[in-house]
Structure 1
Amino acid sequence: MAGLNDILSQAEIDKLMKELISGGGDETTEESRDEVKTYDFKTANRFTKEQIRAINVVFRTFGHLLSNYLMGTLRATCDAEVLSIEEMSFNEFNNSVPSPVVLAIINTTPFEGSIILEMTKEISYSIISRVLGGTKEIPSEGRQFTEIELAIVERVLWQVLKNLDEAWSKMMSTSSVLDKVETSMQFSQIVDMNEPVLMVTMNISIGGESGLIAFCLPHQALEPFTKKLSTRLIYTANPNRKVTTNPAGIKNSIKSSEIAVSAIFNPTEASLTDIVNLHVGDVIQLQHAVDEPIIVKYQHISKFYGTLGKYRNNVAVKIKDVIRGDEEYEQFISGGN
């Protein structure tokens, strides 16, 4: 049902009637025809919203792992967050990459094809500076990366890939290998220019500096695993996981476990003066009658009543009764301190 704002006034109705009678409505139809655009099937979205949500969860986890790794390696406060996830053609991604830039070509099993990790020069030089002991970004205007700088970045990237595999682990098992590191898209074309890709952009903050990294995920690499790209697999148990049990082994492990067994007298209270005046040879009278049973405990839990005795030249305790129910609870409360 139309809202109140959609109801035409009498003046508007009269105007429309005049246009129809005079033939003015044909011009409006012609104008609307001119606005029709040809649909390009090449631009059709290949990733569903559910798949994008799942990838967003994966890279949010990756951002958390990456920030922890960089914080420990660079000795600086670090933060990594996902800024955007966009679907585009590889040609559009290619045109968006600045120069110079660090481009890591990554082969991830079981993906069918390579993916690209792009690191802007700002974040790259910030990492290089701090790895070498500096605290500020290296001036990067008008200069290319040296072989030594690329070797430092490559070493960091290998650990970054471990974090990436860990982020994917809730959804599927992956193994990433760094194929090569480039500084130009001229040598980094991994798919056809019209191939749809997913570009995941993240902001990395190191100390007071920040920069961007981006992942290029081609559709053809992820296509065989699109059914696994679901948030349900992340927040629920993996249905394909096989749980194996070994009752006999568990039982044997429990039997061989060692626990502390102790025999406890009733606690005895003494004044601070008495304690200070204690000397070697003094006799302490316990607040425990001779015929009163001793409490036998497993760890801190009272289990038996016993009597003190001697067995084969050792002091021993003979089990007299089992502590059950309320007695066990009372003994735990009173004797656990």
Structure 2
Amino acid sequence: MADNVLSQAEVESLLNAMETGNEPSKPAAAVSPDPQASHAPRTREKITPYDFKRPERVGKDQMRALQSMHEGFSRNFGAALSALLRSIVEVKLTSVDQLTYSEFVFSLENPSCFNLLVAEPLEGNLILDINPSILYPIIDRLLGGGKESTPASRRPLTEIELTLVSRISDLFLIELKEAWENVLPLDLKVVRVESNPQLVQIVPPNEVVVLVSFELAIGDVRGMINLCIPFNSIERISHKLTANTWFSYGSTEATPQSRAAIGDHIDKAHVNLDVILANTTITMEELLDLRVGDVITTEKDSRTPLQVNVNGTPAFQAFAGAYKGRKAIQIERSFERKKPPQQK
């Protein structure tokens, strides 16, 4: 019991602390019934708040899989949209979050382009929302507008504009189907387009949804496209959303099918073909005196092959001639590029 008795100095220190309201200068370790308790390290437990209104029903593995899938989708959709608009379009995945359906709806602008989707065999509906700040510049470019940026209109879409928007949404669904191919073959289509998001109730307000957000940039104009996936739509196939679905975006060996698909796309590409007959220099006075039928002499031998450029790049060597009464060239061989001399 002697270990539990306070000394006179410790008693005075405690009394002084009570009078001044400060902590005592020396800790009274002797009052502890357990001698080892004063030497035990104190650990701080990290407390994380939990909101019962926003339960996290989608696991971290599934969220990572969705993020990886839609990162590949954003690159492909950006390339397809650039080809459609004939302008550089940057599409970047900004976030993949869980929230309630009411939070998603009230975060959108009104009016907006609110597309209600069916994705069979998934249950229920998905939502594709295109922000007006990027939608109207896209429509302007489809109608032949210039590069100048105009402020977004605060009005619902007209019938003509809805027809043009369907080209954007159809392109989105085509690329989205490709992105989900390794998880589940989807049959996607737009069943309705609304301007007021609050009029569409696909799930209860407190139901958890996965919100996939993309940022589009066309020059100086930027805007958001949101894909809303209710949890009850992917609940039955959540076991398929694993790391195994990520491999489609990694480096894989080329197959005959992939080579044929790439070849089909390349065969349809348009290229510019130029043939350089000869190069020479003349004075401005000689240029002004040229008339129809004049002959320009050069130092190039007619027996020397001509240079054929494809999109401005030397590709072939050919000889000039005629075919069925038309001027033509006969390609002899590929263009031989001179290798730069190696530095010692």
The reply to whether TM is greater than 0.5 is yes
1:194, 1:227 → 2: CA distance?
23
- Cα distance change, pair 38–205 in 1 and its aligned pair in 2 (3 A): closer
Could you tell me how far 1:155 is from its partner in structure 2? 2.6
> Partner residue of 1:206?
218
> Partner residue of 2:172?
160
1:74, 1:47 → 2: CA distance?
36
Identify the match of residue 53 of structure 1 among 30, 41, 64: 64
Could you tell me how far 1:138 is from its partner in structure 2? 4.1
- Cα distance change, pair 12–174 in 1 and its aligned pair in 2 (3 A): farther
Could you tell me how far 1:221 is from its partner in structure 2? 0.5
> Partner residue of 1:87?
98
1:68, 1:168 → 2: CA distance?
18
> Partner residue of 2:203?
191
Q: Which amino acid aligns with 2:156?
A: Q
Q: Identity of paired residues, percent?
A: 31
Q: Which amino acid aligns with 2:228?
A: C
> Partner residue of 1:234?
246
Could you tell me how far 1:15 is from its partner in structure 2? 6.8
Q: Which amino acid aligns with 2:157?
A: F
Q: Is the 8 A contact 1:103 1:117 kept in 2?
A: yes
> Partner residue of 1:178?
190
Shifted more, 39-48 versus 192-201: the winner is 39-48
Task: Give the TM-score taking structure 1 as reference length.
Answer: 0.58
1:37, 1:169 → 2: CA distance?
37
Q: Is the 8 A contact 2:132 2:153 kept in 1?
A: no
Higher-Rg structure is 1
> Partner residue of 1:215?
227
Aligned with 2:156: secondary structure?
coil
Could you tell me how far 1:50 is from its partner in structure 2? 0.6
Q: Which amino acid aligns with 2:198?
A: Q
Q: Which amino acid aligns with 1:225?
A: I
Q: Deviations over 1:286-307 (max 9, x none)?
A: xxxxxxxxxxxxxxxxxxxxxx
* Map 1:51-130 → 2, pairs under 5 A: 51-130=62-141
RMSD: 2.8
- Cα distance change, pair 220–16 in 1 and its aligned pair in 2 (3 A): farther
Aligned with 1:71: secondary structure?
helix
1:158, 1:141 → 2: CA distance?
23
* Map 1:222-261 → 2, pairs under 5 A: 222-235=234-247
Shifted more, 156-165 versus 40-49: the winner is 40-49
1:176, 1:165 → 2: CA distance?
7
Q: Is the 8 A contact 1:129 1:138 kept in 2?
A: no
Q: Deviations over 1:187-237 (max 9, x none)?
A: 322111010001111101123321111111100001010001112233279
Task: Give the TM-score taking structure 2 as reference length.
Answer: 0.57
Q: List alignment gaps of at least 5 residues for structure 2.
A: 1-21, 33-46, 250-302, 304-344
Looking at secondary structure, tell me which structure has more helix per residue.
1
Q: Which amino acid aligns with 1:139?
A: P
Could you tell me how far 1:81 is from its partner in structure 2? 0.9
Q: Which amino acid aligns with 1:54?
A: A
Could you tell me how far 1:13 is from its partner in structure 2? 7.2
Aligned with 1:56: secondary structure?
helix
Aligned residue-pair number: 213
Q: Is the 8 A contact 2:110 2:196 kept in 1?
A: yes
> Partner residue of 2:262?
none
Q: Which amino acid aligns with 1:130?
A: R
Q: Is the 8 A contact 1:122 1:137 kept in 2?
A: no
1:134 matches 2:145: yes
Could you tell me how far 1:139 is from its partner in structure 2? 3.3
Q: List alignment gaps of at least 5 residues for structure 1.
A: 1-10, 22-35, 238-275, 277-337
Q: Is the 8 A contact 2:89 2:217 kept in 1?
A: yes
2:142, 2:181 → 1: CA distance?
28
